Structure 1
């Protein structure tokens, strides 16, 4: 099957998605959270793959039958919905406390990184990863020093 996107380009998009998500997954792994390296990498890889497939379908339909157009944003909507379901599954309520919200958010963000990499926007994917890492590490450390957080420990 002929492809509009070269194999090298596909591999680089998938590699960037998985590699950047590894950074977020490593932070979760080091904190002993249930969704770590593999989870984050698989979410980003899957999101990028779905986008690449959608782009390939778009290219194929544009050449073959211009009236049979697809809307790539619908693929993004489906990916976001599915990843939201995964993220929600990582959130646990125990009595009056809730755990896993940051992990759920980082899983959702890994999907966004995968989508950005899937459409070949590596700069956006890298910026999102860097900002998320700062939020998760630096602000997390500050948050843990706050009196309201120390009372819960």
Structure 2
């Protein structure tokens, strides 16, 4: 770097530009790799491109207009493009959010894209410690907290079981015994008649339950499916 650049906040060497772009690629790639391993819509390449693009725009915002700094009536704001990145990333994040029935998916991926863009901006501005620390924290949040969430939070969410049978009198007794044995809590129950082309008139039972652990749902569905009189069972 030239001596003049050391004392000029509007100047940066090509070596430092390369360093920041490579660092943005690596940090975005780390988070993208975790997302790719979890089979999310925004994976390795998406996160790398977001982080790299944010870094480039930050560099452009800070140093790309240095030639006009000394011009009269010209006001240079290093944060102007950074603000546009934060706003614009919302449209990309919104594309990863899906609403299906009662559930919303993609919120974590959208949030990770927003954080990755912030990491790219931080790298572009030269905040290496902050961007590196934030990357480690994001990885801990996406991996370690995901394990805790699946074990202690998701298991306590309410599930809807839909059971169709010819006669529910014995089926209800068997289901009650199953739930008592597996320590499953029943929140609400709804019974109605339904027609099926193959089976004819059936009774439909809707059960709102909470499970002691997430793995218990598959076991419960398999056991209910094999109960005498049950024609169909599903979960939401």
Q: Same fold (TM over 0.5)?
A: yes
* Structure 1 alignment gaps of length 5 or more: none
Instruction: List alignment gaps of at least 5 residues for structure 2.
Output: 1-9, 158-213, 218-234
Contact 1:58–1:69, Cα closer than 8 Å, also in 2? no
Instruction: Report the number of matched residues.
Output: 150
Whichever of the two has the greater Rg, that structure is: 2
Aligned position for 2:124: 118
Separation in 2, partners of 1:73, 1:118: 11
Normalized per residue, which structure has more helix?
A: 1
1:39 paired residue number: 46
Residue aligning to 1:49:
56
Q: Does 1:100 align with 2:99?
A: no
Per-residue deviation, 1:48: 0.5
Q: Which structure shows the bigger proportion of residues in strand conformation?
A: 2
The equivalent of 1:21 in structure 2 is: 28
Cα distance between partner residues in 1 of 2:72 and 2:120? 28
Aligned-CA RMSD value:
1.8
- Corresponding residue for residue 79 of structure 1: 85
In 2, Cα distance between the equivalents of 1:116 and 1:66? 30
Structure 2 vs 1, CA of residues 132 and 71 (structure 1 numbering), >3 Å: closer, same or farther?
Answer: same
Identify the structure with bigger relative contact order (alpha carbons < 8 Å, sequence gap 6+).
1
TM-score, normalised with respect to structure 2: 0.60
